C-alpha cells in the first residue's frame, strides 16, 4: 500500500490531537479533583455517584432531624422540670397550711399564690418549640390549654431518625398533667377553693399533689430514656456518614499525586510526539518556493 505524505501528516495530527485530549482530561481532573466532569466520561462512575450522593444526602437529613428531635426533647424536659418545681412549692404551702396556724388573710394569700402557680403550670402546658405546641400531640398549632378549656391531643409526634425508623419526640399532655378530675389543674382548682373557704384540713390533697408530681417525674424519666436512645442512634448515623462519604470519595475523587504524575508523563510523551512529528512531516515544494 502506498503511503503518501498526506496520510502521514493526517496520522501525525490525529495522534497529536489525541495527546492534547489526554492532557486536557488530566488537567481537568487536577483542577476539579474529580474523576469525571460529565456522565459520558464514565457512566459506571456516574451511576454509582448518584447512588452514593443520594445516600449521603439522606444521612445529612437524618442529622438535621436529630437536631430538631433533641430540641423537642430538651424543651419538654425543661418544661416538665419547671412544672415539678411549681408542684413542690404548692406541696410545701399545703403542708404549712395543714398545721392550722394560718389565719384567714394568710389563707387567702396562699390561695392567691396557688392560683398564680396554677396559671404558671398552664403556660407550661402551652410550651412551644418554635411555633409548635409540644404537649398537644400532632395538633401542634392549637394550644391545649385555652382558658378553662383543657384538651390534649394524644397522637405522637415522630421523627424519622434512620431509614424506616421513627421515634416519638413528644410527651403526651395527659401523661404529664393528667386528665379529667385527676388532672393537676382540677386538683389545684379544688385546693384553691378550699383555701379561699378557710379550710385548713388539707392533708387529703397531699396524695393528689404527689400523684400529679409522680406523673411529671415519670415523664422526665421517659425523656431521659429517649435521650439515651437518641445518643446511640446519632452515634450510629455519624459513623454511617463517615463511611458513606468515604465510599463516595473513593468513587468520585482523584488521587491527586497520581494525576500529577500521569500529567507529567503525558506531557513528556506529547513533547516527544511533537518533536518526532516535526521530523516526519518533511518540507514540501511550497516551503522551498517562499
Highest mean predicted confidence (pLDDT) among 10-14, 264-268, 283-287: 264-268
Quick one: pLDDT at residue 5? Answer: 61
Banded model confidence at residue 52, pLDDT cuts 50, 70, 90 = confident
CATH code for the part of the protein at 64-248:
1.20.1330.10
- Which residue do the cell numbers 470519595 mark? 249
- Is the pLDDT score of 120 beyond 90? yes
* pLDDT tens digits, one per residue of 97-108: 887 777 888 888
d(CA 233, CA 249): 24
Q: What is the DSSP letter of 41?
A: G
Helical (H) or strand (E) element with 146:
strand 145-146
Quick one: pLDDT at residue 49? Answer: 76
- Is the pLDDT score of 92 beyond 90? yes
* pLDDT tens digits, one per residue of 139-189: 999 999 988 889 999 899 999 998 889 999 999 999 999 988 889 999 999
CB 194 within 8 A of CB 98: no
* pLDDT tens digits, one per residue of 24-44: 776 776 777 777 677 776 787
Helical (H) or strand (E) element with 138:
none
CB 252 within 8 A of CB 224: no
- Going by their DSSP bridges, the two strands 165-168 and 158-162 should be labelled as antiparallel
Quick one: pLDDT at residue 2? Answer: 63
CB 90 within 8 A of CB 117: yes
Q: Where are the domains of the chain?
A: 5-51+255-289, 64-248
Amino acid at each position: 500500500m502506498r503511503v503518501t505524505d498526506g496520510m502521514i501528516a493526517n496520522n501525525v495530527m490525529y495522534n497529536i490531537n489525541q495527546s492534547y485530549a489526554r492532557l486536557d482530561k488530566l488537567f481537568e481532573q487536577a483542577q476539579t479533583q474529580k474523576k469525571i466532569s460529565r456522565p459520558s466520561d464514565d457512566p459506571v462512575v456516574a451511576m454509582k455517584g448518584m447512588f452514593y450522593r443520594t445516600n449521603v444526602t439522606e444521612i445529612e437529613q437524618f442529622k438535621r432531624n436529630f437536631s430538631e428531635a433533641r430540641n423537642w426533647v430538651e424543651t419538654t424536659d425543661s418544661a416538665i422540670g419547671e412544672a415539678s418545681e411549681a408542684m413542690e412549692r404548692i406541696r410545701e404551702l399545703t403542708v404549712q397550711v395543714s398545721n392550722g396556724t394560718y389565719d384567714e388573710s394568710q389563707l387567702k394569700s396562699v390561695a392567691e399564690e396557688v392560683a398564680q402557680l396554677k396559671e404558671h403550670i398552664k403556660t407550661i402546658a402551652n410550651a412551644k418549640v418554635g411555633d409548635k405546641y409540644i404537649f398537644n400531640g400532632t395538633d401542634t398549632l392549637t394550644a391545649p390549654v385555652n382558658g378553662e378549656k383543657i384538651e390534649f391531643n394524644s397522637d405522637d409526634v415522630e421523627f424519622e431518625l434512620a431509614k424506616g425508623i421513627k421515634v416519638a419526640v413528644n410527651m403526651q399532655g395527659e401523661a404529664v398533667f393528667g386528665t379529667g378530675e385527676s388532672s393537676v389543674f382540677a386538683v389545684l382548682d379544688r385546693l384553691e377553693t378550699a383555701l379561699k373557704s378557710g379550710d385548713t384540713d388539707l392533708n387529703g390533697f397531699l396524695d393528689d399533689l404527689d400523684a400529679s408530681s409522680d406523673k411529671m417525674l415519670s415523664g422526665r424519666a421517659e425523656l431521659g430514656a429517649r435521650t439515651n436512645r437518641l445518643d446511640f442512634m446519632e452515634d450510629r448515623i455519624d459513623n454511617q456518614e463517615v463511611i458513606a462519604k468515604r465510599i463516595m470519595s473513593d468513587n468520585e475523587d482523584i488521587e491527586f499525586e497520581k494525576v500529577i504524575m500521569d500529567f507529567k508523563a503525558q506531557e513528556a510523551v506529547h513533547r516527544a510526539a511533537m518533536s518526532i512529528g516535526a521530523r516526519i512531516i518533511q518540507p514540501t515544494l511550497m516551503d522551498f518556493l517562499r
